[in-house]
Structure 1
Amino acid sequence: MIHVKLASKAYDVVIASGVRHQVGERLATIWQPRQVMIVTDQNVGPLYLADVSASLAQHGFTVHTTTVPAGETSKSLQMVEQIVGEMAAYGFTRQDAIVALGGGVVGDLTGVIASLYMRGIAFAQIATSLTAQVDASVGGKTAVNMATVKNIMGSFYQPDMVLIDPDFLQTLSDRDLVEGYAEVVKTSVLAGGDFWRLTGDIKTVAAIRERAETLITKSVLYKRDIVVADEKEGGVRKYLNFGHTLGHAIELMAHGELRHGEAVAIGMVAISERFEKAGITESGITALLRDRLVAVGLPVASPLIGQAAFYDHLKNDKKNAAGTLQLVAISVPGQPTIVQKDLADMPAFVESR
């Protein structure tokens, strides 16, 4: 169990095999019996929704459920409005709660709803994908998309509890597992030390599965420390955006052909190549990063980088401050830094590889 203690709130992240069977028991330790809306998607629901619903009902909760289409299209204001309407129809009040059962998309969507419904309602995360388990479920970032802008509307809204069961990963395809591993590699290069060495030892998808609990725990511990130091992303939390500025642009341009983690993998290598050439990243780090990603089948390059639409998407990046991007560079593993780059200079920077 990892404790997250912020100035305004504290909660636990429970990482344990089999915890998915204890949802009702765990949430009953922090919530009185109440109405609960479970939000899941069409991939996760058929696998786990019945068991989670039954567990909550056994501990006195009145359970309602809603299932959204799988994928980024569900992160929309239209879906927020639909689920808020369902909750209102059931008579949900501020004393009730909402639970995300799924990956990062479901977690982001549910978090937005939790932050908005009657100006804030109790919220828990049951993270079923590796992406959600190592990154999206921890730290309180919530968001939905517009058609051409990713995560443009959202809030910082912390959950009351996060439940992570590595056994959920058994039902993930290799591709879905590996896209989450890109976030693990990202965190390992930010952390350096033993964590960076650990990802260097991972050479196969099977190894990710075998060492999942350790990889998840190390990722959450690092993110916990960052979030406690900087909840609202005014300083060191920006480090967690390594690879994301370029990655988000690529992801949007791919129109669903790339998963989030795949785009981040490409973004990490692309930004490191440029910073290595500029002398900010130590020589050879990009190759070590690339090797970790390629070993498990992640993409590390894309022809979308440098197209006109690529620069258009950078304008809407959250790290854009009055025309200046806050780019994350890795000097050496364990030593991230922020490099400011004017948007007008990005074409020359990107083409400098």
Structure 2
Amino acid sequence: MVKRENYGSRVYTLAIILIFSIVWATYIAVIDKAWTPSLPIVLSCISNLKLSIPVPSFGNFYPVLASLAIIFLFSLTINLIIFRLTEPIPLAVLTIALALGTSGYTSIILGILGILNKQTIILSLFTLCIITLSVIFHYGYRRFLANLKTLLKNKQTVTPRKIMKLTPYFIIYFWIFYHAIFTPVIHWDALIYHASLAKIFFIENKIPLIYGTSIGIQTSANYPPLFSSIAALLYVLSGGVNEIYLKMVSPTASLVTLLSTYLLSKIIYRKDFPAYIATLILITTPLFIRYSFYTVSYMTSLSFIMTSLYISLKTLHDEKLALRRFILSGVLFGFGLLSVYHAIYLMPVAIVIWYYVIN
């Protein structure tokens, strides 16, 4: 039986959602009357919807796949052994976030040095392999196997109720990913800033000096380069400018943001239901959906910030390995600053959390 307190909190939450839905419907019907005549057109388009999935071109895909496997293995090893994250969802979230940040940061360093080419990238990946093996042997392969065994024991049971809860997320995220992959890059900021920068980095094999005041590529120098550097790294590995790799960054970052929001909410409320509601509100927010498939850097920065705040709050509840996880939180926040300068607005929140972690 459901406890009376839990039942009351759920009814209260659903009542708030219902009230907001009624207010929204009233606004559309009474104030913003432009929605009313367009509704039959929208329903007609949905009823006659034809889903076409063209086969995307990945270029020379195998070097990209092998390189991503090395980067993800490095990230997984660091999180599993050094930070001892043995729960499946937190480990997956932080592995993806650290892999994205490592890819972009490696590309930035090579671009600044003017040696962003396939040979230096392979050398960098070889260095990551050495670091991964060194971590395993330094901390002991037995610890690695023990943490891996603990991870495999923490299996998530799949029930019909969980499937029903996750169905809206799967549907919305499928359309986000579909829209991101199969829609041309037509967003203004993407065309003159982010996507163009990735192409310039690839052609020049470096991060060139860009300056000026005109509206266009000259002002792109005002943007931190991590987002574009991730795409430039994949361009070099694939042997050409293939925008599908650029398009995959934002939806991947949005998935990390969703999962980290769920984990943050679960830490704060210590229950699953508020965490589900928080992520449901997030994934149904129009701006979140829009920037999840736009090839701009905002969602990438948000994913790093959310994972940074999550690992900080997790450290407050688990004082073991506090210093190591504190460093991981700072690294992830740094990746966020390398994506968008707006991340600095959340610095006071991070400082307050880090203050409690240190003390």
- Bin for the TM-score computed over the shorter chain: under 0.3
| Greater relative contact order, per chain length (Cα 8 Å cut-off, separation 6+) | 2
Name the structure where strand makes up a greater proportion of residues.
1
TM-score (norm 2): 0.25
Structure 1-normalised TM-score? 0.25
* Structure with higher helix content: 2
